[in-house]
Structure 1
Amino acid sequence: MAERKRPDAGRVLALLWGTPAPPPGRGPRPKVTLEQIVRAGIDIADAEGLDVLSMRRVAERLGVGTMSLYTYVPGRAELLHLMYDRAVGPTPPPPEGATWRQALRHYAHLGRDLHHDHPWTLSVATPGLMMMGPNTTTRADAVYAALSPLNLPAARQAAIADSIDAYVRGACQGSGADLTRAGRDGGFTDPDDYEHWWNEATTHLTDLITRQRFPHLYAVWETGAFEEYGDSTFDYGLDRLLDGIAHDIADG
């Protein structure tokens, strides 16, 4: 596999924040737009993951020649930055009159929704990896707007924002948000395959995980608690984190 080059920061920022147009000339009318290229990249990544994403695959999806895409985007690396910011999308505000805690909870759920709708974003959501575009910057500014009334030192605001972001990413790893990518890596081609596989495995696990051998785990397992993962589990951990932040703020 050819080594992938680090994208040029200036070029990425120009693509993210500008409105690049096809170069002037008398040539034929462009067959695609930058938005169509980015949308096609997202559709491919959503369906098959980042491993298969390439300029050639995007071109095939759009029905154009690969070289025509380079008029708009220098390569795959730059395209990925555009895809991520596009996937983040607009940032709806929290309900009017929301407290700082309610606002942070709102933005945490937006982050979880991002990873659920676009599982590939978990692979690139590490802070500093993706260049900040209009949507990601708006999202970050909204988080700091929620913290602003607390009059905390800037470093503490940054620590709180980073903690929330880290929790969301960690909670989504291995959850339904990450199942599509992880399932492919594990040999599953369809979400139903994963469920059938676990149903089959359960018939064997019931003979292996017994009350006598693993009494504490079994006591929780037999209640069906492990089948109740979802919003309640995500919110439980998030609320405990917010409790800790509130306690820290109260202590000054």
Structure 2
Amino acid sequence: MIDWVHSLAGLLVGLLVGITGVGGGSLMAPILILLVGIVPVTAVGTDLWFAAITKTVGGVVHHHFGKPDWTVVRRLLMGSLPASVLTIALLSKLPRSSFQSDLILSALGVLLIMTAIATLSRRQIHDYARDMQEDTAQRFRRMQLPLTVLAGFILGVLVTLTSVGAGALGATMLIALYPMRMTAARLVGTDIIHAVPLTAVAGLGHLWIGNVDFALLGSLLVGSIPGIIVGSLLSSKLPDRLVRSVLALVLMLVGMKLLVG
């Protein structure tokens, strides 16, 4: 049976995702925890399945138009998938207690603040990385492979633990590592394609632990699909700088709320 409160949460996040492209999805788990009252581990596990399904749809579109950089995707997955499996193994050993919830809430709070900073600083990070690559191009290229695998590993841990990080934070890492290679379309496509298997593996891990509520997931999807459509239509009518600034402010405030309680 559809829970319309949960569907409204999906609608809100769908709107944010449609308007912002990346970053808005970071608010799904916090909304479920703070506004709907879902237990943190269940919010994260269910959000990972939500992300896997919605990003699969986006990934099919980007694959069809040939936008993702498959070399970069493979490098990221070399780090992120093993990291996700290791994180699930560690989570499964932790008792389902207040400690586990506190760990997730703290990690989620810190990550939302980092995502807010990344959302505001993306252009400056791109310019800095581009100038650095021009000065030390050969050395920079030698370091791209190990640094990309490391970035994937970090994202694997963060996404599996909190369900956040595959969007705005992942995109910022790619901009820093590949400032010359990543056009806007290629950046979004690469980020989404990498997120599909990562969120699927993390989601399966949380399902194995018992952290997924499929009734909640269905209600979220009912709301998110029209939300993404409406948000996408609105995005062309809103100034990008204003959207990013408002999103960063909301992410920062929610992150601080999760940290201070």
Q: With structure 1 as the length reference, what TM-score do the two structures score?
A: 0.28
Larger Rg: 1
Pick the structure with more helix per residue: 2
Higher RCO structure (Cα 8 Å, ≥6 apart): 2
